[in-house]
Structure 1
Amino acid sequence: MILPYLAPQLLLLRTLSSKPLISNRLRDNYQALQLPEDGESSPAQVKEAYLSMAKLYHPDSGTSTADAALFARVEEAYRAVLAHKRQIKASGAENVEEEEGMKGMVPQHRHYLSYEGIGLGTPSQRERQYQQFRVDRAVGQVLDYRQKEHERAAAEEGEIVVRDKRSRQIKITQAVERLVEDLIQESMARGDFRNLSGSGKPINKFDHNPYADPMTHNLNRILIDNGYQPPWIVMQRDIRETTAQLRERLLKGRAKSGESMTLRENAQWQQLCGSIGEELVNLNKMVDNFNLVVPMLSRQMVHFSLDREIAIAEKAAYQHRQEREMERETEKERRREERKKIKVGTQQTTQGLLSWMQNLLK
């Protein structure tokens, strides 16, 4: 029997417990996504809020509000809110029989005094919700502790700026890793990995380089076997092939004429140089795009100059003419030696024939 003076308090308690209770950290996550703190937003609204915040704070968005730290915070809040939504959905789908069986066993005024007042539903549901709440609270405490430890170490070493950069890099790296993991899980759920050629087959053992990471080696080998190449490798190959073709055209065009060109040859040469200059403009644009994506500074390229390429072609054509002159001189000398040998052989044959005739007449 419930005492009369407890009825208003129980009514208020039931009213408050009819809504899902969330922790302070989850409430902060909802605020970070600019969502209502009551947790009644739909998954579509949560995703839409995340996309709008990502467009504002993503480091690669190119906007004035881009901030890697804020983007990492939004990413963390988005994942926490999604986990909370999945938890609410799983709690709502529990068996109703358990709730009906436990409804009359525990008085309502004692039912919500356990688990720090966290959760909604049957005792088993509230216990799971409370465990998740404790996990979230522990994760928050661990992150706060690590942040304080980093701040203390940085303050002792006098490297506050380095600490900020390091923490931003760690957060960005963690956000990228989580994003990649989510994409992999989505692809696996869609079945994109079911039709792979090596599906269900064991990976060959790593016995090439004992000092290299076997996982990295196997992943790179799988990518290479499937024809994958990084974009900067493809762009580097295209630039080299285009450069070789342009230089070969310049060399052939200059080698057709001698050191002193006629008016017609000069006009043809100027026309070829103009065409090569237009193609060099497009080639330099490819170089700019390559320098933006190449991961190593030592691999970057400089622009190609028409004057420099013309000088290289003229030097190569001059060397080609010199080699041809040397070949002609060598050929002339060889023929001269052959004529001398033939002449000497003929003289020796004539003298031998005369000696034989003289001996015969005697």
Structure 2
Amino acid sequence: RMFSGYQPKNNIKDSYKILELEEGCSLDEVRNSYHNLAKKYHPDSSSVTADSKAFIRVEEAYRVVLSDLAAKQKSDPDEEEEDQFKCKSLQHRHYLSFEGVGIGTPSQREKQYAQFRVDRATEQVLQYRQQRLESRYAGSHLSRAKDVRQSKKVKITQAVERLVEDLIQESMAKGDFDNLSGKGKPLQKFSDSPHIDPMTHNLNRILIDNGYQPEWILLQKEIRETIERLRKGIVASRRKLGEPMTLSEQKQWGRVCEQFAEDIRKLNKRVDNFNLVVPILSRQMVHFSTDKEIRRALKTCEAVVEKVSDSATKGNEREEGE
């Protein structure tokens, strides 16, 4: 009652300055600033800066700022709209149930929602049965296709076996097998071990006896023979040239090295093919190096020259001794 007709002396801007604030600050900032200034200027705070007049100005400014914030909050349209929505949302909450199905009163919408659930369950059952029938039909179709492929495979195998048997009988009638070394003799086994398939070993023995060799063995043999031939060839070419070589002989040696490098490149391609077909990883071969092979040939030539010179020296010594 005492302050009901009280009119503050400070305006709004001065009040914000007294509280050491700026316009647009929050309510918490206003309260914190007021508490700090009250501790500083309150007469009963026993502080050095205590001042009753300053405290009165701070209190008046605090009331003015609170009134200003309350007026701004009431005049904010967003707040009013939010309050209005909060008030109306509870009245229409029942429309958010029943998954949005149906119209009318809540009881009518509940009945409509129950019928909707029945229809949805029926539709799901029908879809499940349809999927079961489709999967069953697809499985039977695949099994029939598999049986057809299997029967075709069996027929082809039987046809090949009959063809081979006919060819064997025809060859026997012509006497093509009469000159075999093992005619009329039992097949020899590689081993009596029970872990070895006798049929497989007998077939391998027949292949070996008739000169059959796997592809990778033939390639390995060919590569080794080729590199030995190339090594002997480059050594022979170097020995034909003089020591030391003249300018023309150096050019000739350069052409020999170029041809040797081309031969090594072709040989390395064979090595690649060999590594693709060899069944054992440890049997794979590495590429041949042209530089290493040329240095090896030069060392071989030097060794041969030294050997020849040593033998000639020994022969001369023998002749002188005689």
* TM-score (ref. length: structure 2): 0.47
TM-score (norm 1): 0.42
User: Computing the radius of gyration over CA atoms, which structure comes out larger, 1 or 2?
Assistant: 2
Highest RCO, 1 vs 2 (Cα 8 Å, sep ≥ 6): 1
